[in-house]
Structure 1
């Protein structure tokens, strides 16, 4: 499989990820959605109802919305944005849960970029067991 990010290189990867991080920090859902490629693929690990590969922008956005609904997620900070010639990553700190049950988690999101848009994402959670409990079984 060829790597779609390799064509644009590190500058394109950094530009797209920084635009995404800025939209996420500002809560601009339209700008966030506009940065997803129509062929976007989301890879969610773990053993929960949202685990698996979600292909296509519509399917991926539905899963992300479902994750937010189930966890009450709130972005606390973009810890770092990293870019290389083939992949980029965002380290995000989020608050999940409601009330006294809320916890802070760190998440690593690894991306490829194609055509100036996010093309693929792998989500790695610092505490996957916690995420699995919050989401619920498959």
Structure 2
């Protein structure tokens, strides 16, 4: 891999995701994607495939929120196989909303994202916002 390839994949991924095209964004995930979602809330955990992450995280967030906006990202560090970003996201549900800066490490192989590690800079606030969600039962992710 090259730094240029990693940057190209990540720019294309966020160009798809930011205007709300989740399907196009999810096409960048490898089938054997591994996602480490930080925190202790109902969305925390390790997801061991694209299917599992989409079913137990992306789809749950999309169904729970009235709006989900990715409003930009800042590249903090980029290497041949991965990139560290600060992603700015906002979710709303009814009259409640939460905005976060999510630290995300994305590992890239070829044209696919194969691993992600995420932590919200305001984790307690994000977990409180999603507090009504039922955690995914152990062994289901």
Alignment CA distance shift 1:91-1:46 (3 Å): same
1:103 and 1:56 map into 2 onto residues whose CA distance is 27
Aligned residues: 131
Q: Is 1:74 aligned to residue 58 of structure 2?
A: no
Which structure would you say has the larger RCO, counting Cα contacts within 8 Å and 6 or more residues apart? 1
CA RMSD of aligned residues (A): 1.9
1:28 paired residue number: 21
1:45 paired residue number: 38
SS in 2 for 1:97: strand
* Conserved 8 A contact 2:100-2:126: no
Alignment CA distance shift 1:79-1:29 (3 Å): closer
Alignment CA distance shift 1:92-1:72 (3 Å): farther
Query: Which structure 2 segments of 5+ residues have no match?
Result: 136-141
* Conserved 8 A contact 2:6-2:108: yes
Q: TM-score, normalised by structure 2?
A: 0.81
Given candidates 113, 116, 119, the residue that maps to 1:121 is: 116
CA deviation map 1:59-100 (0-9, x unaligned): 011112212333445225213235222321332222223244
1:55 paired residue number: 48
2:4 and 2:27 map into 1 onto residues whose CA distance is 19
Query: Which structure 1 segments of 5+ residues have no match?
Result: 1-7
Alignment CA distance shift 1:25-1:40 (3 Å): same
Alignment CA distance shift 1:65-1:122 (3 Å): same
2:89 and 2:38 map into 1 onto residues whose CA distance is 17
More helix by share: 1
Q: Which runs of 4+ in 1 moved over 6 A?
A: none
Alignment CA distance shift 1:11-1:57 (3 Å): same
Q: TM-score, normalised by structure 1?
A: 0.82
